[in-house]
Amino acid sequence: MIRSLKIFWHSFLMALQELKVNKLRTFLSLLGITIGIFCIIAVFTLTKSLEINVRDSMASLGNNVIYIQRMPWTATMKNWMLYIQRPSTNYDEFDKLRQRVHNAGAIAYVYSSNNKTIDYGDNYMDGVTMLAVTADFDKIQEVDLTAGRFFTPSETSSNSMMIILGANVWQGLFATGLQAIGQHVNFAGRQFTIIGAMKKYGENLGGAFDYDNSVILPYTSARRIVNDRGIWVEPYIMVKTAPNTGIAELKEELRGAMRAIRHLKPTEDDNFALNELTMRSEPTEQMLSRINFAGIMIGIFALVVGAFGIANIMFVTVKERTNIIGLKKAVGAKRSTIMQEFLIESVILCIIGGALGMLCVFAVTKMIASFVFFKIYMTLGIVIFGLGISILTGLVAGFIPAFSASKLNPVVAIRS
């Protein structure tokens, strides 16, 4: 153990000496490794960050929630005309589903409308989105409030003129969310009392609803402003599974109930869509896989170039130390010891290059973090992976030079 540590320490010092004596040559040799690790780690960091942000955004949609809508989330322009002819979901269907479906833990009717105006005194905001909901909406999607409360069941069914503000809305009208509670605002020409202020959700990448620039109203109050049967409105029904009920079981029950409500014959196709989270996550994962693959290919080519550079510098190092190798072998050094020394030196050089590459990724992510609308994560797993690739590259690049050094004839080596 002590002998191995001595060999490692000696190789480490020789690698640093190589860096010190031949700065330019070593730098150019390490540049390929640095670029290769930079490409791989940068792509992995980007895709991992995208994945985390998308999953966080999509998590708000619910893993155990089914959305009954006119169009499936997988619709394309090719079949868009087919789906647009379907009837939209409506409140009557929602009411009938509540009575028919037994595997639902919660069910809510929801629709939205954009480009509304809200004002309080001299302050006003344009481009606000209205989200109309029925009771149980907060049981399906978590509505995080910094102040106030959500609607009671009686408030959602009694035309109560109450409103919950998104973070950007209350920040534009008031100093704090707490200050907003109990105040009266004019929204779309009608007066509402603020009972809740939502937390800041931030940008989302998973298609989740943008709460920050929105207000939430009870369905019975919202339909006074925008009719849910209007041509530009797309209502949907959200259904959450009951405890100990699978998503597939609920989906089949909802399909049967909706077909019965719409009086579809057995030979007729469904004229509604049952959407769930997996329909959005699968295309996202495929996209991230392609980006990962492209980044890995670019990184591999850069690493191959870097490996040739490291192999070249190790061949030069062996040439410069030929007489020293001969002396070591003459006094009894084994071939494995000579080989181990050069392999360790090669690995250390690659680790230095890899570390420089990861430092560059870290610096770049810090610089662009304030310009992108999602958080960037450089996880410990990615760093360990980068170090592992560096070590592997060092072993591969240094093997042939180390092997050739271990095979030198002591007498010939000393004379040279």
pLDDT for 203 equals 66
**Whether residues 39 and 84 fall in one domain:** no
What is the number of structural domains in the chain?
2
What are 144-184's pLDDT values in tens digits? 899 999 999 889 888 889 999 999 999 999 988 788 999 99
Is 232 in the same domain as 266?
yes
The pTM for the full model equals: 0.69
188 and 271 co-located in one domain: yes
Residues 102 and 43 in one domain: no
Same-domain check for residues 73 and 138: yes
Q: Are residues 186 and 313 in the same domain?
A: no
Let me know whether 125 and 225 are in one domain: yes
**pLDDT of the residue at 149:** 94
Residue ending a domain, among 227, 250, 276, is 276
pLDDT beneath 50, residues of the chain = none
Same domain for 71 and 183, yes or no, is yes
Q: Please say whether the dihedral angle defined by the alpha carbons of residues 331, 323, 22 and 356, taken in this order, is positive or negative.
A: negative
Report the candidate in 388, 387, 298 with the shortest Cα–Cα distance to residue 39.
298
Q: What's the CA gap between 393 and 315, in Å, rounded?
A: 16
Structural Rg of the chain based on CA atoms: 32
Question: Which structural domain, as residue segments, surrounds residue 374?
Answer: 2-57+282-415
Looking at residue 219, what is its pLDDT? 94
Q: What is the distance between the alpha carbons of residues 5 and 69, in angstroms, rounded to a whole number? A: 66
Rounded to 5°, the CA angle 292-293-295 comes to 65
Q: Tens digit of pLDDT for each residue in 319-365? A: 877 787 777 777 777 777 778 877 887 888 888 888 888 898 888 88
The residue from 217, 246, 276 where one domain ends is 276
Q: End-to-end CA distance of the chain, in Å? A: 33
Q: Of 104, 96, 106, 108, whose CA–CA distance to 250 is shortest?
A: 104
pLDDT of residue 7: 66
Answer yes or no: do 401 and 301 share one domain: yes
Which among 130, 140, 326, 330 has a CA at the least distance from the CA of 221?
130
Cβ atoms of residues 159 and 220 within 8 Å? yes
Q: Tell me whether residue 122 is exposed, middle or buried, using C-beta atoms within 10 angstroms of its C-beta: 0 to 12, 13 to 18, 19 or more.
A: exposed
- Other beta carbons within 10 angstroms of residue 300's beta carbon come to 14
Claim to verify: residue 301 and residue 265 sit in the same structural domain: no
- Dihedral, 296, 301, 306, 310 alpha carbons, nearest 10: 100
Q: Are 156 and 205 part of one and the same domain?
A: yes
Domain boundary residue, one of 259, 276, 293 = 276
pLDDT, position 116: 93
Q: Give the whole-angstrom CA distance, residue 228 versus residue 355.
A: 58
**Statement to judge: residues 270 and 286 lie in one domain:** no
Position 206 scores a pLDDT of 54
* List of residues 6+ apart from 259 with CB closer than 8 A: 270
- The three state secondary structure string of the chain is CHHHHHHHHHHHHHHHHHHHHCHHHHHHHHHHHHHHHHHHHHHHHHHHHHHHHHHHHHHCCCCCEEEEECCCCCCCCCCHHHHHCCCCCCHHHHHHHHHHCCCEEEEEEEEEEEEEEEEECCEEEEEEEEEEECCCHHHHCCCCEEEECCCCHHHHCCCCCEEEECHHHHHHHCCCHHHHCCCEEEECCEEEEEEEEECCCCCCCCCCCCCCCEEEEEHHHHHHHCCCCCCCCCCEEEEEECCCCCHHHHHHHHHHHHHHHCCCCCCCCCCCEEECCHHHHHHHHHHHHHHHHHHHHHHHHHHHHHHHHHHHHHHHHHHHCHHHHHHHHHCCCCHHHHHHHHHHHHHHHHHHHHHHHHHHHHHHHHHHCCCCCCCCCCCHHHHHHHHHHHHHHHHHHHHHHHHHHHCCCHHHHHHC
